[in-house]
Structure 1
Amino acid sequence: MTLQAKLDAFKTDFEAGKPPYNVPPSVIQTMHRATAELIEGGAAMRALKAGDEAPSFTLKDADGQPISSTDLLAKGPLVLSFYRGVWCPYCNMELQALQAALPEFEKLGASLVAISPQTAVNSRKSVRQNELDFPILSDAHNDVAAAFGLRFELPDYLVDLYKGLKNDLPAFNGDASWTLPMPARYVIAQDSTILYAEVNPDYTRRPEPEDMLPALRRAASVAA
């Protein structure tokens, strides 16, 4: 089953309010409203695209060790996944799919990292629960996400909804702002050129990991 098929199956059960979710229709309507407004506002159009230069960054992994994009790119191409947090089931399914594809990425000399605003404690939980062999880096206040054009502020009505669902982003992220990154996937060549970019304001839609392989093959051929 493809990643998107798994996401669609989960979405169907979740939005139908099936146990254990039991989500009322009003909650689903509010989530749909927020997604539609983000799409209509053209947020994705402002994100970095293929052909742009990726900004460099240094972030800490779940164990507090600094990870530099410059160091990673010195070894080979880089795959980035911007991850909302351990609380997001769609994101966790994506991480699992990326983990399954990791051997293919490594064959092409690529490194894979996820970037999330969540705290190190929550990243350790993500790594453990999803059985990951790649790091999740903590992007405090979504500053790196902002450099990629991905950060957005949740509207007040969505903040109220999240609070009602006990989804306390300031607690998850150790940051008072109610901001998130749009889910995004990038392949970056060793010269920092973005070879592949997929940004979607609809967090229920994710590209297949295999979609990045042509860009990674191009990067590997240039490096060779």
Structure 2
Amino acid sequence: MSLQAKLDAFKADFEAGKPPYNVPHPVIETMHRATAELIDSGAAQRAKKAGDVAPSFSLKDPEGNVVNSTELLRRGPLVLSFYRGVWCPYCNMELQALEAAKPEFDKYGASLVAISPQTAPNSRKSVRQNKLSFPILSDEKGKVGAAFGLRFNMPDYLVELYKQLKNDLPTFNDDPSWTLPMPARYVIGQDGVILYSEVNPDYTRRPEPEDMIPVLQRATAVKA
């Protein structure tokens, strides 16, 4: 089953209020409203895209080790996923799909990392629960997400909903701002230029990991 098929199946159960979710319809309507407004804002079109130079970064992994994008790109292409947090089931399914695809990425010498505004303990939980062999880097205050044009301010009504759902982002992220990155996937070439980008303001839509294989093949061919 494809990643998107799994996401669609989860969304159907969630929005139907099936156990264990039992989510009332007004909650679903509020989430739909926020997603529609983010799409209409055009924010995704303003984010970094293929052909742009990727912002460089130095971020800590869950164990406190510094991971530098320049160092990663010396080894090969970089596959980058922006991850909202351990509280997001859609994001967790995406990380699991990326983990399953990692052996294919390895064939092309590509590094795989995720970037999230959440705190290191939450990233450790994400790595453990999703059985990941790649790191989730801590993007404090969402600075790298902002550099890629992905960070957005949540509308007040969505903040209130998250509070009602006990989804306390200021605690998850150690940041009072109530901001998140739009989910995004990038492949960055060794020269720092973005070769592939997929930014979707609808968090229930994610590209297939396999979509990046032809890009990595071309990047490897160019290097050779």
Instruction: Tell me whether the two structures share a fold, i.e. TM-score over 0.5.
Output: yes
Q: In structure 2, what is the equivalent of residue 98 of structure 1?
A: 98
The Cα of 1:213 is off from its aligned counterpart by 0.7
| 2:20 is equivalent to residue 20 of structure 1 | yes
Task: Work out the CA distance in 1 between the residues paired with 2:168 and 2:93.
Answer: 21
Task: Work out the CA distance in 2 between the residues paired with 1:152 and 1:141.
Answer: 12
* Cα offsets for 1:34-80 (capped at 9, x unmatched): 00000001010110110000010000000010000000000000000
Q: Runs of 5+ in structure 1 lacking a partner?
A: none
Q: In structure 2, what is the equivalent of residue 156 of structure 1?
A: 156
Identity among equivalent positions (%) equals 78
Q: In structure 2, what is the equivalent of residue 72 of structure 1?
A: 72
* Matching residue's letter, 1:105: F
The Cα of 1:106 is off from its aligned counterpart by 0.5
User: Match of 2:96, SS?
Assistant: helix
Q: How does 1:64-143 map to 2 (within 5 A)?
A: 64-143=64-143
Structure 1 segments of 4+ aligned residues over 6 angstroms from their partners: none
The Cα of 1:218 is off from its aligned counterpart by 1.1
- The two structures, once aligned, show a CA RMSD in angstroms of 0.4
Q: In structure 1, what is the equivalent of residue 223 of structure 2?
A: 223
* Matching residue's letter, 1:187: V
Residues paired across the two proteins, number: 224
Q: In structure 2, what is the equivalent of residue 48 of structure 1?
A: 48
* Matching residue's letter, 1:166: K
* Matching residue's letter, 2:149: G
Task: Work out the CA distance in 1 between the residues paired with 2:223 and 2:209.
Answer: 21
The Cα of 1:204 is off from its aligned counterpart by 0.1
Task: Work out the CA distance in 2 between the residues paired with 1:205 and 1:141.
Answer: 24
Q: In structure 1, what is the equivalent of residue 32 of structure 2?
A: 32
* Cα offsets for 1:186-211 (capped at 9, x unmatched): 00000001000000000000000000
TM-score by length of 2: 0.99
Q: Runs of 5+ in structure 2 lacking a partner?
A: none
User: Match of 2:54, SS?
Assistant: coil
